[in-house]
């Protein structure tokens, strides 16, 4: 499983740096499966137009890369 984490920099409930720090405490085989993304927005990232466009791009890229790695020949993931 691959995990995409999207956080708004000005989110009072969550912190970009906190996500990165929490991920860093995990074993490498788990932390390598987490993609943390921080956006210059609040809690509802998609309400800010610039952040929404960047989120859309990042998420599309993440899905594309994840699917490609799942379909790669054995040993090339």
- CA angle 56/62/49 to nearest 5° reads 15
Given pLDDT bands bounded at 50, 70 and 90, which one contains residue 71? confident
Q: What is the pLDDT of residues 55-65, one digit of tens each?
A: 999 999 999 99
Q: pTM for this structure? A: 0.83
Structure tokens at 71: 């379909």
Q: Residue 49 and residue 66: Cα distance in Å, rounded? A: 25
Work out the percent of the chain whose per-residue pLDDT is above 70.
95
Q: Residue 39 and residue 30: Cα distance in Å, rounded? A: 23
User: Closest Cα to residue 38, out of 54, 49, 22?
Assistant: 54
Q: Residue 27 and residue 32: Cα distance in Å, rounded? A: 9
């Amino acid at each position: 499983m691959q995990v995409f984490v999207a956080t708004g920099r000005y989110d009072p409930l969550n912190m970009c740096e906190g996500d990165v720090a929490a991920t860093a405490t995990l074993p490498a085989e788990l932390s390598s499966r987490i993609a943390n993304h921080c956006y210059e927005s609040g809690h509802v990232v998609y309400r800010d137009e610039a952040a929404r466009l960047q989120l859309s791009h990042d998420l599309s890229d993440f899905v594309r890369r994840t699917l490609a790695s799942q379909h790669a020949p054995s040993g090339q993931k």
